[in-house]
Amino acid sequence: GEPSKCPAKYYSGAGATQCEECWAGHACPTEATAWPMQCPKGYYALPLSDQCSSCAPGNSSHAGSSECYVCPAGTSCPTQATPDPNICAAGYKSLAGATTCTPCGLGQYQPTAQSSSCLECPAGVRCPQQAISSVQNLGCPMGTYSRYDLKSTAFDLPYDHEDVARFPSLAATGDTVCRQCPNGYTCPDPATAPVLCPAGTTRIGTNYSHCAQCPAGYSCATPNVPPAECADGYYAIGSQAECTACSPGFQCPMKDVALQMRCSSGTFSAAGAANCTACPAGRACPEQDGSGIYDCASGTFALAGQVQCTPCPPGFQCPDITSPASMALCPKGTYSTGSKAKCDDCAKGSYNPLNGSTTANACVACGKGYYSNFTAAVSKTTCSPCPADTYCPLASNDLPTACPTGLSTFDRLARTSADDCTMPPPPPPPMNPPPL
């Protein structure tokens, strides 16, 4: 009989007695296919296929494949039916199944082709652009650094340059620039972390190689700021984190020399004094460190610069504790035994006709039989005889004492005793009786 044509998806060779199924990875596109057509790279076919199908982007295949494979990491398969994955060049990366190679980002590089990831730029190197394949010529110059994070607390007080918590740490990502050596650090090598300078030194500006000693007369609590001049009354001899306060009782006129001069008698200073202070008038300053200062008591005085208050001398009064200029001789009728702001008045019943008296004995008593109701009397004329019907028994009487009721001195004055108050005298005896 007549030979039968094999349908599409089948084939038969010469002398075949039957049609065979088209193989996987091959196509039998038409009737009477004598031999299966192999699928090229980038295509695939299942058994009994009349055509080869293209692999999707991100995939490829070998010739005669029944399925596609995912393009491996480090390559790209940008289109359908990509015959061979494209190798990602150095400076690029891709994951499996990628349609494009991605350039390494800023701060990254990749020296090897067909890579799945990029490397972070190492310390001491900068990666300022994308797709960098080599860092050979991207090293940082001396005096700079890269890829280290500085601690915001590095210079917190109290400062300790050996505290590891203050040290710079390696950043997770590479750097795009070389950074100038920061104030307060030295940068001995661009590839190593900046090194903190110790307290008592400073490192500012372009001198990145060493920490400068803090100059005399200045303090350097932290090395990242300019030296601070010592305040008046403080000094520093160099390489000091803090200025030293002048000791109490001393003055320190120079800031750059440890010269402490003892305060002279009558002056004083607290800690941190550039100059000693004269003891103020009206006060006494027994110690140069300012301890024990006291106000002068009433009846004493002190000029500026005295270690003790001066008592007002006997016979004088001193109303002003700040100066002897107002010292005055005690006037008549008064006296002072010393240390008096005002002279004491002579008591009632006495008087004093003299100036400058130093004891109460200078006040002369009016005497028995006399009295005086005046204080600070200056003359005996102030003493009055006790009037009739009174008596004055004391040497100093301020008022007369009245005779008891019913008794009288019968017009006698200056009586000294109650005995001088008597009953009226008996009537005189009667005259001789008249003759009867």
Among 336, 400, 325, which residue's Cα sits nearest to residue 368? 400
Between CA 275 and CA 277 the distance in angstroms is: 6
In the predicted model, residues of the chain with pLDDT beneath 50 are none
Q: From the centroid of its chain, how far is CA 408?
A: 91
**Residues above pLDDT 90, as percent of the chain:** 93
Provide the pLDDT for residue 222. 97
Provide the pLDDT for residue 436. 61
| Token pair in block for residue 56 | 């999707």
Provide the pLDDT for residue 432. 72
Between CA 357 and CA 172 the distance in angstroms is: 97
> In Å, what is the CA distance from 103 to each residue of 106, 127, 178, 181, 261?
9, 13, 22, 30, 73
Provide the pLDDT for residue 171. 97
pTM of the model: 0.67
